[in-house]
Amino acid sequence: MPGFILHQGATVLCAHAGQAQPTVTDLRVKVGGQPVVTQPGPWTIAGCTLPPPPAANGPCVTASWVSAAVRVKASGMPVLLQDSQAVCTPTGTPLNVVVTQFRVKAQ
């Protein structure tokens, strides 16, 4: 299913409203003037509101993407899409793409 490509300036939040940021971008490919984000790089999360043990298993610290574009790659790596799935560590909850560019789609 086609989806909009994620870029460095996209707003991505963990399930507990923590701000997620990519650690690696592809500086050669840009959409909306910002580098696209590819699948292998981990994301860091700041400001997660889930409490630490023993109250819960938070906060979210990092996230890894488990799905990405099948047909479109940047520098040989699959680009991330608005509907790509990610899992946060240590909570196991997903990331939510709130805002991204809306001109370039990939599949």
Task: Assign 4 a pLDDT band (cuts: 50, 70, 90).
Answer: very high
Token pair recorded at residue 28: 């050669």
Count helices and strands (H / E) in the chain.
0, 12
> Is residue 9 domain-resident?
yes
| Residues paired with 30 in a beta bridge | 35
Looking at residues 55-80, what average pLDDT do you find? 96
Confidence band of 59 (pLDDT split at 50, 70, 90):
very high
For residue 19, what pLDDT band results from cuts at 50, 70 and 90? very high
Look over the chain and give the mean of its residue pLDDT values, rounded to a whole number: 96
Average pLDDT over residues 83-102: 96
Within-domain flag for 8: yes
In this structure, is residue 105 part of a structural domain? Answer: no
Report if residue 95 sits inside a domain: yes
**Domain extent for 94:** 3-100
